[in-house]
A and B are shown apart, each in its own frame.
Chain A
Amino acid sequence: MKIIWPAMVLWLLFTAAMAQGAPQPQEEGESITQQQKRLSKILKRPVYQRWKLRQNPELEAERKSYLAHTARSILEDIWKGFVKFWKWIWRQVKKLNINLPDLPQGPEGISDYLRMGAWGAFAALLVVGGLYLYGLRKRLGKRIRLAKVLSREKVRQALEGGEALAMDSGGWMEEAERMGAEGDFRAMYRAIYLGLLSGLHEKEIINYRKNRTNWTYVNHYKGAPEDRAEFGDLTGMFDQVWYGQKTVGGGSLEDVKARAGSLLSRGKVSI
């Protein structure tokens, strides 16, 4: 009887670890077409979600307290994961179809089972908690960044201050679209360039700091030489448009946007 306890704990630990990587069972009769899957992926994209949330003025107040919003969504995720995990455990137990020994008679036997159950639950909680903390560390930074992006006030501040890292490159490109639609092509180019800086920093091709000049990034570019030349070209154009107040048309900016996107899509090349 005493050998069963550690075996149970080990089994719980093993099943909990497997649960994280195991494919989630589908509901009976559920059939998802490829098209629906693609649509589902698109709808889950942060870019789409940000756009959708910005269209909804009711969510604006919620976005302002983004930390509370972030904390609540994390707790909801933890609870959902916990419920999913125990459902899965229960299904596995049912599948095993184990002939459980007869419960010992009398109050002593019941307390043994209760103690065993409590230890099992505790071990499972520890495992689930550990795994979530690990995942949380990665996701938290991203969520806070996302929440920052969602705030209109933060977007306004980022635009005024020209702080490239206030938004990710996707966010800047969306702002560029909006400015292009408003006919402010100079501001559109600026948003594209700030998005480029933000994206290159995220890829560790440049080390962005707000007290460095644009040509410092060009001179210390860690990518391929031809990419560096392209970045230098885009920087020179930004200088002309932003500092030199040269007029630009919307058509040429679409080309610039494509060039910036192409530069961002290329990976880091060690030289």
Chain B
Amino acid sequence: MDEKIEGNGRERKLDEAAKALAMVKTEIKKAVIGQDEALDQMLVTLLCGGHAIFEGVPGTAKTLMVRALGATLSLDSKRIQFTPDLMPSDITGTNVFNLATSSFDLMKGPVFTGLLLADEINRAPAKTQSALLEGMSERQVTIDGTRHTLSPLFTVFATQNPIEFEGTYPLPEAQMDRFLMKVKIDYPSQEAERAIMERVNQGRPSDRLESLGIIPVMNEEDMGGAQAALPGVRIEPGIVTYILEVVRATRNNESILVGAGPRGSIYLMQASKARALVMGRDFVTPDDVVAMVPPVLGHRITLSTDAEIRGSSTEEVMGYILDKVEVPR
């Protein structure tokens, strides 16, 4: 009897979370057109309590997506443009002497927010990057020896320009591994681009969110509830084995120099469960896993020199791996 009540409670929580997430998607789509997959991946990142790195050419609505997401979740969203002269204190904040009170007042940096868009993260030196990475992993920052707690929903969406690498500090593999996923943002389709142009033509540009009628449909507490409901998403043992086989296959492939580690398996499972919830289901299907493999594992593998010379991309290699592993049914 208790188990049944518990089961009903689980289903109710998951149902509420799925409905709320569907409303969030509807609201964000008022502003962002033609980036449905990237939008789902952003929500997956938030649900898992992870961080994402965006990769895409300029002008593909990266900043807009973060702003719209913040608006629908009643969360603050800030943006930092990373430059070579950016200092750690520019991110975390610093203590400033107040002459009136003769004491130090904390001037909080942009890291004290809900959603943070770190634009071109690889333009800043390693010391500045690591200041942000401490906040990402521990959700707290240390300023002058004092620890300050960040928002429990603090999420970083970092971008890397895939074309220009001159004068940059690429993130080391260990730091890349801390990002839950790498969201690839492609050009919108022709129809989507036409719709964007028509909207601007009607005098409703996307950067004025208030003109698009976006309303907050969730708050920090609701999102926390959705995160708490995530473990209740059912995953069949066969699918867990499937995840394991996919991750382990990255370690035995001749095109891959370094395969995904155990963190990859854990994140792939979590992301698959979160995707199922975003899709309105309380159970994981192999399609969830297949959809999450490129964004979750893509940046955790290093291609071999031969594969790079052949011109293979990580997406191609991941596709090849998925073609080799049997789907449970």
Contact = CB atoms under 8 A, between A and B. Distances in A.
B164 interface: no
A211 B234 contact: no
Contacts of A161: 326
Nearest to B329: A162
B97 to A, nearest CB: 60
B15 to A, nearest CB: 13
A260 B327 CA distance: 22
Given A210-B327, A211-B325, A214-B329, A245 B290 contact: no
Contacts of B325: 211
B285 A243 contact: yes
A86 interface: no
A99 interface: no
B317 to A, nearest CB: 15
A194 B328 CA distance: 12
A239 interface: yes
Interface stretch (B20-28, B44-52, B114-122, B276-284): B276-284
Contacts of B281: 239, 244
A39 B141 CA distance: 83
B283 A243 contact: yes
B284 A210 contact: no
B287 interface: yes
A211 B329 contact: no
Nearest to B236: A243
A245 B327 contact: no
Residue from the set B234, B281, B325, B329 with the largest chain A CB neighbour count within 10 Å: B329
Contacts of A212: 327
B323 interface: yes
A213 B236 contact: no
B17 interface: no
Interface residues of A, number: 18
A214 B282 CA distance: 18
A interface majority secondary structure: helix
Contacts of A243: 234, 236, 239, 283-286
Nearest to A161: B326
A239 B285 contact: yes
A97 to B, nearest CB: 67
B324 interface: yes
A59 B41 CA distance: 56
Contacts of A211: 322-327
B287 A213 contact: yes
A239 B328 CA distance: 11
A162 B328 contact: yes
A48 interface: no
Contacts of A239: 281, 283, 285
Interface in A207-249: 210-215, 239-240, 242-245
A219 to B, nearest CB: 10
26 contacts: A161-B326, A162-B328, A190-B329, A193-B329, A194-B329, A211-B323, A211-B326, A211-B327, A213-B327, A214-B285, A214-B327, A214-B329, A215-B287, A239-B283, A240-B283, A242-B236, A242-B329, A243-B234, A243-B236, A243-B283, A243-B285, A243-B286, A244-B234, A244-B281, A245-B236, A245-B283
Given A215-B285, A243-B286, 11 more contacts: A162-B328, A162-B329, A210-B327, A211-B322, A211-B325, A214-B329, A239-B281, A242-B236, A243-B236, A244-B283, A245-B283
Enumerate the 4 nearest inter-chain pairs by beta-carbon distance, A residue then B residue, closest first: A244-B283, A162-B329, A213-B286, A213-B287
